[in-house]
Amino acid sequence: LCLAKNRLDNDWLIRFVRSVPQASFASSLRELDLTGNEITDAGASVLIAASDLDRLERLILTDNRLTIGGVRLLRRRFGERVV
C-alpha cells in the first residue's frame, strides 16, 4: 500500500492503525510505504504497538521526521523489514 508524499502525520497514523483490522486489505497488507510524510518518533511508537502489522514484509519510512532513536526502535520491532 503506497501512501507516500501525502503529508500524513502521527494523528493520521493513529487512525490508520486503528482501522487496519476492519479494512478489506488487512489480510493481504505486506508492504506499507509511508515515504515523505510527517511521521515522528511518536508515530513510530504507534507502529511498534500495532500487532495488526505483524505480517508486513516491508515498512518504508524514508524521508519522515524520525530520529535515529525512533528508527532503532522500529528496527527492534520489525527488523530488516524497515527501510
> Contact, 56 vs 29, CB < 8 A?
yes
Residue 48's pLDDT band (cuts 50, 70, 90): very high
Phi, psi values for residue 63, rounded to 5°: 60, 45
Percent of the chain residues topping a pLDDT of 70: 100
pLDDT at 30: 97
Exposure of 31 in the CB half-sphere (CA atoms within 13 A): 8
Give the percent of the chain with pLDDT over 90. Answer: 100
Q: What is the mean pLDDT of the chain?
A: 97
Distance CA 47, CA 74 (A): 8
